[in-house]
Chain A
């Protein structure tokens, strides 16, 4: 979606236009869900939290102001806080609970491909869980939510250089974990 169009939608949503908010929802829903899912690992939790994020956004959008940050940064900040809150209340990080049937994926052609894709997805998610929270955020936002380095930097209130460094370290750790080693060098 073009930035101008998104700006218009946000302005309309601020005035209480439900159709505009609906478009924003449609545009961001999958990405927010994916981000949360990879952070919390449970479908039920991911659904609850995703819905909560949009409810909070709905309730707060009137107060949203453009302050040089993209709207998506604001929305992902809500998602990030919700996930943090979720872990704080649960008191512990969840075990990896990924299982085949929990995961809905984009269609692939054959059952074998689907199976292979699921296995790979499970391995990746398990590996991601072993990264530091900052590294997780960067990797998930960049590779699963599809945001640019600049956007991720604004979401996480970090410099682009810091995000690049986190990305580097995150990928290096993932590489080690996926090869069966420890995340630490």
Chain B
């Protein structure tokens, strides 16, 4: 009991001293003079307090702060709703079957262990093989778009991890691979309807911004030969970003006639006004049926024609797009956190 009271007294004295040091710029000695009987206990705690107070504050990247702000403002003006999807039971069964098969084939032993491996790990090639196999399970345009974006993000995280470890070559490879994923993602995204395009393009632009920040750091750290290659990768990244920005403009509904979006003559562009199911898997050859599951399933309800693929990609990374998180980077989830 008395120990408890002593502790409470010490806790209060500590709090008081922290306040004095923060607000009144009191020194440790000033504080200790106020509590001479607690000097022994207080002194090391106040020393640590002082250290924390004098540790330079971490600052976010200014460019990130600005771009995130503008995305937010965009969101405020034209909110994007990613609606939850209801999946028809039969399709759900097919999905489950495919997912189970993929699980059996892919996630056994070493393959499972490779999931979190980094490019400098001996398990990493297996991780990439698993990713490729997983890609085969994607059955429609939207899930392909999501999957490529998710892979782009993985490559980004790996590039960052390699940069931290000063493994420039591996980091460079990851940024190049990320470009490929971004290009693939763009191909698919541009076939989606306006609403999905907007969501995914916003995400894609954000990823390329981060990629360029990493490339900038890498260029600063690399030798002449690698520098040239990195600059090429950076250039490509910027081109991808510009293309995405251009396409994003084309998704704006209000201003006059729709802009032509580059790169895709097959684009569906069935904007939401028509309320048509999209997706038709023109790219993956699974036939129109492969379209968003929800589209078929929901016709009866007349509600979300779109529904994100988030839940039906076969990977759960985002089943919780709860709160209709828009392009939010994300609904947080491990690797594919953002989808």
Contact = CB atoms under 8 A, between A and B. Distances in A.
B325 interface: yes
B289 interface: no
B52 A143 contact: yes
B324 A167 contact: no
Interface residues of B, number: 56
Given A58-B76, A171-B48, A38 B332 contact: no
Interface string A4-30: 000000000000101001100110011
Interface in B319-339: 323-326, 328-334, 337-338
Contact of B332 (A89, A143, A164): A89
A62 to B, nearest CB: 11
B325 A34 contact: no
A22 B57 contact: no
A149 B71 CA distance: 33
B262 interface: no
A106 B59 contact: yes
A52 B331 CA distance: 7
B55 A121 contact: yes
B223 interface: no
Nearest to A85: B332
A73 interface: no
A161 B12 CA distance: 8
A60 interface: yes
A55 B328 contact: yes
A105 to B, nearest CB: 4
B279 interface: no
- Which of B58, B65, B217, B324 is the most central at the interface, judged by chain A CB atoms within 10 Å of its CB? B58
B45 A164 contact: no
Interface in A48-77: 48-52, 54-56, 58-60
Interface string A113-129: 00001101100100000
A106 B56 contact: yes
A105 B59 CA distance: 5
Contacts of B56: 105-106, 108, 117-118, 120-121
A147 B324 CA distance: 31
Nearest to B316: A89
What band does the interface of chain A fall in when counting residues whose beta carbon is under 8 Å from B? Answer: 35 or more
A165 B7 CA distance: 8
B337 A86 contact: yes
Contact of A124 (B52, B323, B329): B52
- B61, B64, B68, B325: most-surrounded residue (chain A CB, <10 A): B68
Given A21-B72, A106-B57, A108-B56, A164 B11 contact: yes
Contact of A18 (B54, B77, B330, B334): B77
Interface of B: 7-8, 10-12, 14-15, 18, 44-45, 47-49, 51-61, 64-65, 68-69, 71-73, 75-77, 79, 156-157, 160-161, 163-164, 210, 217, 323-326, 328-334, 337-338
10 shortest A-B CB distances, which residue pairs?
Answer: A105-B56, A164-B11, A143-B52, A117-B56, A55-B328, A33-B60, A104-B59, A89-B334, A175-B48, A89-B333
